[in-house]
Amino acid sequence: MLKSFSVKNYKNFKDGIKLSFDNVRDYSFNTNCINQGLLSKIIVFGENASGKSNLGYALFDIVGVLTDNRIVTQQLNNLYNADSSSKIMEFSYEFQFDNDIVLYSYKKEETYNNLVFEELYFNGKTVYQFDYKKKEFVDNCNLELINANSLSIDFSNLSISFLRVVANNTVQKEDDIVKKIIKFVNSMLFFKSLQVNDYIGLESSLTFIEDWIVNNGLIDDFNKFINQFTSNKSQLVSNKLLDHSVILEKHKYYSLNFKEVASSGTLSLEVFYFWYKKLDKVKFLYIDEFDAFYHMELSLSIIRLLLELKDIQIVLTSHNTRLADNDLLRPDCYFTLNDGKIKSFADSTERELRQGHNLEKMMRQGEFNV
């Protein structure tokens, strides 16, 4: 589980922003939003250009640092805050692995892959601090904690994460902290609720969704899934077109290309279905503007579907204030993002929020402005 994340001087987060999953209140309702004492299902509300996408890109920066999984152009360009005189960006991830707390932080300068400092702590004890400019460790390292005390490498040429070097060049058991960190980061997934399959993490290359559905024998399952959430009850069949499979809507006289006739919401739902079938491999999920093309009832159905998943942390972003409802989540699981700041509803007011409060009405009245 991710306990907290913070970033500073990245894109529109000049002064730093922290998302805390351990800020759990003692609400007795909707406890399925909590796992191992941490927030496991949250929704972040924000206007256009408030930083919802950038928060996701920042969170998933670690994917490019520690794995070969896919990243996107937005993670490579215009990274540091243009109103800051500094070109140093700071990222910090605090993990909770059973009873252990692991803090992994690094700094970059100007470009995506230019690390300038990296540090790792295990239960409050320094494992290492490495200065990439000086090409040396800071004093008081305990590399034996990650089985790296006998690692022999040329630090003068070190240009990638030292943690990644350790993971790739030492023997790590399943319960070792390096193994746990890499495994967690490999199971992170970011995608947008769009009609195209643009994503970060989990896998290394793009997949044609319709090929994947057909090749895995899921056309009937996908048909059932679509019919469950939409008013279009057409029968879906597959066909081969050149090197790729296509999905068709079968009608009385003709079959129509699904991609060409499906609504924006249905095409977005196809992308969701593709990743939903893989969520057993995911530990941390971020869906940006998850309901961008959805009807209100479909948005609610998707949230309820995700709430059934227990061993996964999920962050959804949205504009839709109608989703602020204690029948879905609870005040410590709803967040407002604005002006480079993020706070839960519970932390944004001095009022004691109860299950009977109308969160949407309070939100529209500016009760949770940050």
Q: What is the pLDDT of residues 146-179, one digit of tens each?
A: 999 988 888 888 889 999 999 999 999 999 999 9
Q: Which amino acid is at 307?
A: L
Residue 131 has a pLDDT of 96
Q: How many CB atoms lie within 10 A of CB 348?
A: 22
Question: Measured between alpha carbons, how far is 187 from 282 in angstroms, rounded to an integer?
Answer: 5
Task: Report which of 14, 34, 93 is spatially closest to residue 329, judged by C-alpha positions.
Answer: 34
pLDDT of residue 195 exceeding 70, the answer is no
CB 107 within 8 A of CB 116: yes
pLDDT of residue 55 exceeding 90, the answer is yes
CB 200 within 8 A of CB 190: yes
Q: Which helix (H) or strand (E) holds 240?
A: strand 235-241
Quote the percentage of the chain above a pLDDT of 90. Answer: 83
Task: Please say whether the dihedral angle defined by the alpha carbons of residues 205, 210, 213 and 214, taken in this order, is positive or negative.
Answer: negative
Task: Report which of 98, 97, 95 is spatially closest to residue 120, judged by C-alpha positions.
Answer: 95
Instruction: Indicate the DSSP class of residue 234.
Output: P
Does the domain formed by 2-202+278-364 have CATH 3.40.50.300? Answer: yes
The predicted model scores a pTM of 0.95
In the chain, residues under CATH classification 3.40.50.300 are: 2-202+278-364
Name 71's Cβ contacts closer than 8 Å, sequence gap at least 6: 60, 63, 64, 200
Residue 66 has a pLDDT of 97
Question: Measured between alpha carbons, how far is 360 from 363 in angstroms, rounded to an integer?
Answer: 5
Average pLDDT, the chain: 94
